[in-house]
């Protein structure tokens, strides 16, 4: 009698599979990636709703802001209108700019590091918005201080008002671009962020040319313009770059 060997068939082990998505040469779990995108979608929808409300309630004000960006006459007329400078519409556009800049910084941060969970995502976004507000408030204070020291308060205030026009305009035009971010991955996200940064760079150049125009109008030395440019404009960007790079 030949005994046939018994073959034991073992039950397959039950394993849990997790899908991973490569992100900036880092491997992030899909759940973490989806949480980050979902949080981003919620904030972007809030920003879009705020712009929609502004479009319905004050479309004329939005058109005037765009005119003031390219026309010195229009921006000066806006500057002399106290009701517009202190209006709720102006405050809401400043809020829109801060939120949108916070979204942009949040997405850049999410590309550089793992942003997991809603609480951590909220902390990163809130920190980004706070950093933007702190930067512009500090620069505003320094400009006013310099204007007081050199007895150029009126010109300084007009220039700061134009800076406000630039930031308000950027907050408006960047909103449709940010809506795309929650639905992009990989190179598409990089391209979207690059477009947003390029738009800000374009508006920033307009801002610098307006500052140069004011300085030439007052016959101020170009040395002071270069000094202002390096101290109040370029230096903060270098510091921010070094912090993000670390």
Taking alpha carbons only, the member of 46, 74, 63, 15 closest to residue 179 is: 46
**What pLDDT was estimated at residue 3?**
52
Is the pLDDT score of 238 beyond 80? no
CA distance 84 to 180: 32
Is the pLDDT score of 115 beyond 70? no
Residues 6 or more apart whose CB falls under 8 angstroms from that of 159 comprise: 143, 210, 211, 214
Q: Averaged over 176-184, what is the pLDDT?
A: 87
**What pLDDT was estimated at residue 22?**
44
Confidence tier at 29 by pLDDT (50, 70, 90): very low
Residue-wise pLDDT tens digits, 75-113: 878 887 766 655 788 889 999 999 999 999 888 887 777
Q: How far apart are the first and last CA of the chain?
A: 77
Q: Averaged over 56-72, what is the pLDDT?
A: 85
**What pLDDT was estimated at residue 28?**
43
Average pLDDT, rounded, for the chain: 77
Asked if 109 contacts 120 with a C-beta cutoff of 8 angstroms, the reply is no
Confidence tier at 223 by pLDDT (50, 70, 90): low
What's the pTM value of the predicted model, to 2 decimals? 0.76
């Amino acid at each position: 009698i030949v005994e046939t060997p018994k073959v034991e068939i073992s039950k397959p082990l039950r394993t849990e599979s997790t899908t991973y998505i490569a992100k900036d040469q880092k491997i992030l779990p899909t759940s973490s990636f989806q949480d980050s995108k979902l949080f981003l979608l919620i904030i972007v929808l809030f920003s879009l709703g705020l712009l929609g409300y502004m479009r319905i309630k004050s479309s004329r004000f939005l058109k005037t802001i765009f005119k003031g960006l390219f026309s010195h006459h229009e921006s000066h007329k806006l500057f002399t209108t106290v009701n517009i400078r202190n209006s709720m519409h102006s405050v809401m556009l400043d809020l829109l700019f801060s939120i949108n800049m916070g979204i942009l910084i949040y997405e850049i941060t999410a590309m550089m590091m793992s942003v997991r969970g809603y609480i951590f995502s909220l902390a990163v976004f809130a920190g980004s918005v706070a950093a933007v507000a702190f930067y512009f408030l500090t620069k505003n204070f320094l400009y006013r201080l310099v204007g007081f020291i050199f007895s150029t308060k009126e010109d300084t205030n007009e220039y700061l008002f134009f800076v406000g026009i630039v930031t308000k305009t950027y907050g408006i035009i960047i909103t449709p671009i940010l809506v795309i971010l929650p639905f992009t991955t990989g190179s598409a996200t990089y391209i979207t962020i690059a477009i947003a940064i390029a738009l800000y760079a374009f508006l920033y150049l307009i801002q610098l040319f307006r500052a140069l125009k004011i300085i030439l109008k007052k016959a101020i030395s170009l040395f002071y313009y270069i000094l202002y440019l390096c101290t109040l404009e370029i230096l903060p960007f270098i510091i921010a770059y070094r912090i993000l790079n670390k």
